[in-house]
Amino acid sequence: MSLDLFMAILWLSSMGANAALRGTFVVSVTADCWDDGSAINAGHCVVSRRSALTKRAAVAGKGALAEMSAIAGLSALMM
């Protein structure tokens, strides 16, 4: 019974963590990627954002953002 309670606590905390992670992606950015043709570390990207006042550590595409939103929504419905 205690393991089930522990699992429920972890499940609830993961729902909140997922929703908080999705909420951090609020800045619109543009990524320009190219391949220089070398065999190792060939891909390079330049990420620019419209607002220089916000700091961000990660970039996610539309598909990844939709997936995170769907996970947060389904988790809220299951609650």
Per-residue pLDDT of the chain (79 residues; tens, 9 = 90+): 999 999 888 888 888 888 888 888 777 777 777 787 777 777 777 777 665 555 555 677 788 888 888 888 887 777 6
Give the pLDDT score at 57: 58
Spatial CA neighbour of 62 closest among 29, 35, 32: 29
Domain definitions of the chain by residue range: 2-78
Q: What is the DSSP string of the chain?
A: -HHHHHHHHHHHHHHHHHHHHHHT--S-EEEEEEE-S-SSS-EEEEEEES-SS---S----HHHHHHHHHHHHHHHHH-
